[in-house]
Amino acid sequence: MKTICLYFEIHQIIHLKRYRFFDIGTDHYYYDDYENERSISDIAERSYMPALNALHDMIRDNGKFFKVAFSLSGVGMEQLEYHAPQVLEKLQELNQTGCVEFLAEPYSHGLSSLANEETFALDVKKQAARIEEFFGQKPKVLRNSSLIYSDDIGAQAAAMGFKGMLTEGAKHVLGWKSPHYVYNCNIAPNLKLLLRDVELSDDISLRFNNSEWDGYPLFADNYIDRIANFPEEEQVINIFMELSALGIAQPLSSNILEFIKALPACAKAKGITFSTPTEICMKLNSVGALDVPDTLSWVDEERDVSCWLGNPMQREAFNKLYSVADRLRIANDPRINQDWDYLQASNNFRFMTTKPSNVGLDRGIYSGPFDAFTNYMNILGDFINRVNALYPLDIDNDELEGLLTTIKNQGDEIEMKDKEITRLKARLEKLEPTDEKKPAKKPAKKPAAKKAAAKKEA
């Protein structure tokens, strides 16, 4: 029986402000708060809320038949908390239906998987903890930023305990193979791989409203018919996209939500079900290993990482950023860590690309890739200066880790002693009687000699 795995990504760009060279050392706040609030309020109103309401209606109308999966970046969740809390509240409502799965991904929506294994693991664990805090689900399936994957990254995911991972069904990786099967990591057989069907996903997210497209207009029954006509043994149809495709990339006026809402009924008529990623990983066996020695993603025609690291500017910014990764992980300073999360976000490098792309790229405040590079490097220069001021370069990482461990141990010891002092004080107060409980003093008896003298005088 065929099953559809429908997944949506929710991530919000953190817009950096215009930051001049002369701001380095004097201004440590890097963000355009107005643009961040404006953009997320706009996308919540035009996309997230209408789309989530539609998905909620689909669950209500179809019971346990319809299921859907989401992943939210940690920085995206922070922005939603600040500026559009109604989106998180709606996601919590969806979670209560029991028909929604939340996946793990890097908290920063960054490229740490390409730079530093320990930083990547920490990034993912931080986001997974956030998901568990908000939705009570412990993620079992990992989705890396922009579906970035390779054999080595798969091995890291398996080492972190994940059962499965989402990635791109890229033609140059699959060759003659179909994306409609469950595969496994080449060097970690226990990690199952779910591959995005590129054509079916992009028909919705990129081409739905394009009147010049051969498949226009796209109707739900025709779409499901295509899925039903796949060979019988091809059981898993993975349709992955950004949630903003519903309302932003494809405007609501295109009837994109009516199309989505019609899918369950059409699928049920053809005997096609819906499943979450974990359900698929648990129920279906892998048909074989997928060999991915080079990194792939779901971006651009090449389906690789060249949109982030394809030119010298991007690689210089990337290498400089992750040059302090180990020190930041060791130091674990909360204020520095927040800036670290925001500066890691992959869109910062995407703005620097010089590649032509079929998908329009909005560079925001930047006039071009060099402008984006200059602004980011100014901010990065100030950020690294702050890191070095807190933890000087003449102290190597091992020595820094030792010093911070000593400080932490001393702090723990002081805290433990403070607790012991408080406990002993409380015990002492119980042992010592209070003034109210002390017996009243009896008046002292006069000596007998004094009494006799008093009688004589009388």
Report pLDDT digits (tens) over 183-237.
999 999 999 999 999 999 999 999 999 999 999 999 999 999 999 999 999 999 9
C-alpha dist (Å) from residue 317 to 303, 326, 390 = 22, 17, 22
Using one digit for the tens of pLDDT, what is the confidence trace for 56-84? 999 999 989 999 999 999 999 999 999 99
Consecutive H or E run containing 388: helix 369-390
Beta-bridge partners for 194: 166, 182
Helix axes 256-269, 49-62, angle to 10 degrees: 20
Asked if 241 contacts 198 with a C-beta cutoff of 8 angstroms, the reply is no
Both structure tokens of 335 = 């204020």
pLDDT at res. 344: 96
Provide the pairing of β-strand 192-196 with 246-247: unpaired
pLDDT per position as a tens digit, 84-126: 999 999 999 999 999 999 999 999 999 999 999 999 999 999 9
The structure tokens listed for 80 are 């939603």
Instruction: List % helix, strand, coil for the chain (3-state, nearest 5).
Output: 55, 10, 35
Beta strands 164-168; 141-143: pairing state = parallel
N- to C-terminal Cα separation, the chain:
122
Which pairing describes strands 192-196 and 182-185: parallel, antiparallel, or unpaired? antiparallel
Cβ-based neighbours of 24, under 8 Å, separated by 6 or more: 378, 381, 382, 385
Phi, psi dihedral angles at 108 (to 5 degrees): -85, -10
pLDDT of residue 220: 97
Each residue's pLDDT tens digit, 131-189? 999 999 999 999 999 999 999 999 999 999 999 999 999 999 999 999 999 999 999 99
Helix (H/G/I), strand (E/B), else coil: 412: helix
The pLDDT, as a whole number, for residue 380 is: 97
pTM of the model: 0.85
